[in-house]
């Protein structure tokens, strides 16, 4: 079976000659440097299934000019390509949380100006004049073909990018009509962009990015998600699964404890959720028992266990192996590998993934 055929068979609970596996998140930058010192050549994919991604077709264009506002020995204050001003550590800036100082949108008028200037739904602006060829080449591969969110497809996560998470959460109560205006703008932007894609090729997976939960639960109530977000999820899912050459699966990425949001997402027609952070109480075995095969899952392997070494890894593999065999589940780390995971332990983890994939 090709990697794409294997993926479809697993997601559809069909017979297959092996099970797909991949590493969606990879290591933190300093983890990668540590691994190279421990013998990693930076190229070994450990035999994992391949996937192809088309990226950055929904993000603001033109991007903001990156600027350094100020700096000292330890910190630097910058404005990034999304217009967010933040304070970062000079060292480990890729794997430490910045302090967000200012977001590009504070008022409704600023939002409308931002949208008019930077959110024209035109794939060619973002992928270049050969955008159609890039789409066709991605589709012609024998691998699962993703169109990724890059943090700009969704109805909570992308709004965070504009106003910040704290202000967004209060806007749901203080000015819900402003929230709905932003949501509706994103819905139309995503649909108009996907029209251009689906006129050319079919897509295996469209990714939605929300990141709308923390370790104990969602940042807004499930009732609010159902009232304000689910109608837009339904419109988006219905469109991409029925327009042109169609999308086969819609997957949603959200960290944290999302248990109470899963019923809303399933009712909206979302097929796959990931990454199921174990330290936030997410247990893929328990969730399969709770939601059945309607919930397809990626991830769910506790990265902290990988840091403990082969014995702990083998025990967790044994616990998850039956779920892999059942289908509708691709086992992988529940997020990026931090520096406490040695290259030897990660290699053992990927070796075990390869072994159970061939059963």
Residue 122 phi, psi (nearest 5):
-140, 110
Mean pLDDT of each 10-residue bin along the chain, 359 residues long? 96 96 91 95 90 97 96 95 95 82 98 98 98 97 95 98 98 97 98 98 98 97 98 98 97 98 98 98 98 98 98 98 97 95 97 90
Residue pair 359/323 in contact by the 8 Å Cβ criterion: no
Strand order in the sheet with 329-333: 52-54, 145-147, 203-209, 247-253, 272-274, 296-301, 329-333
> Which SS3 state, helix, strand or coil, does residue 321 take?
helix
What residue spans define the domains of the chain? 3-61+106-357, 65-103
Take residue 77 and report the two structure tokens written for it. 């204050």
What is the structure's pLDDT at 357?
Answer: 92
- What is this structure's pTM? 0.96
Rounded to whole angstroms, what are the CA distances from 234 to 187, 221, 255? 10, 18, 21
CA torsion through residues 77, 114, 111, 231, sign? negative
Rounded to whole angstroms, what are the CA distances from 330 to 24, 122, 139, 273, 324? 10, 33, 21, 11, 6
Burial of 234 (0-12, 13-18, 19+ CB in 10 A): middle
Q: Using the 8-state DSSP alphabet, how is residue 27 labeled?
A: B
Q: Scanning the structure block, which residue is given the tokens 């769910």? A: 300
Residue pair 190/232 in contact by the 8 Å Cβ criterion: no
What is the structure's pLDDT at 359?
Answer: 63
Take residue 171 and report the two structure tokens written for it. 């806007």
Take residue 129 and report the two structure tokens written for it. 């004049």
Take residue 30 and report the two structure tokens written for it. 């300093």
Residue pair 320/284 in contact by the 8 Å Cβ criterion: yes
HSE-CB for 25 with a 13 A CA cutoff: 25
Distance CA 82, CA 152 (A): 11
What is the structure's pLDDT at 175?
Answer: 97
CATH code, residues 3-61+106-357: 3.20.20.210
């Amino acid at each position: 079976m090709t990697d794409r055929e294997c993926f479809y068979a697993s997601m559809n609970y069909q017979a297959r000659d092996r099970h797909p596996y991949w590493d969606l998140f990879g290591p933190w930058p300093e983890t990668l440097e540590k691994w190279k010192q421990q013998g990693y050549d930076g190229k070994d994919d450990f035999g994992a299934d391949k996937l192809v991604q088309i990226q950055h077709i929904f993000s603001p264009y033109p991007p903001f000019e990156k600027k350094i506002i100020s700096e000292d020995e330890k910190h630097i204050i910058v404005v990034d390509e999304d217009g967010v001003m933040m304070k970062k550590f000079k060292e480990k800036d890729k794997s430490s949380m910045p302090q967000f100082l200012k977001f590009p949108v504070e008022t409704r008028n600023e939002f409308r100006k931002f949208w008019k200037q930077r959110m024209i739904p035109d794939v060619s602006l973002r992928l270049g004049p050969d955008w159609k060829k890039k789409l066709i080449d991605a589709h012609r591969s024998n691998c699962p073909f993703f169109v990724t969110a890059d943090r700009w497809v969704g109805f909570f996560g992308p709004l965070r990018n504009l106003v910040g998470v704290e202000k967004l959460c209060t806007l749901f109560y203080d000015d819900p009509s402003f929230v709905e205006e932003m949501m509706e703008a994103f819905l139309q932007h995503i649909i108009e962009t996907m029209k251009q894609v689906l006129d050319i090729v079919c897509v295996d997976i469209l990714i939605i990015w929300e990141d709308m939960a923390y370790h104990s639960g969602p940042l807004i109530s499930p009732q609010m998600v159902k009232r304000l977000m689910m109608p837009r999820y339904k419109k988006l899912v219905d469109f991409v699964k029925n327009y042109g050459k169609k999308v086969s699966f819609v997957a949603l990425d959200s960290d944290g404890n999302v248990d109470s949001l899963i019923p809303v997402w399933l009712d909206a027609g979302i097929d796959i959720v990931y990454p199921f952070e174990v330290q936030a109480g997410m247990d893929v075995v328990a969730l399969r028992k709770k939601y059945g095969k309607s919930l397809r899952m990626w991830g769910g392997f506790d990265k902290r266990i990988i840091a403990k070494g082969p014995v702990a890894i083998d025990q967790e593999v044994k616990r998850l192996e039956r779920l892999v065999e059942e289908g509708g589940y691709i086992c992988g780390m529940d997020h990026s590998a931090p520096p406490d995971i040695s290259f030897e332990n990660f290699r053992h983890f990927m070796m075990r993934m390869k072994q159970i994939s061939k059963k």
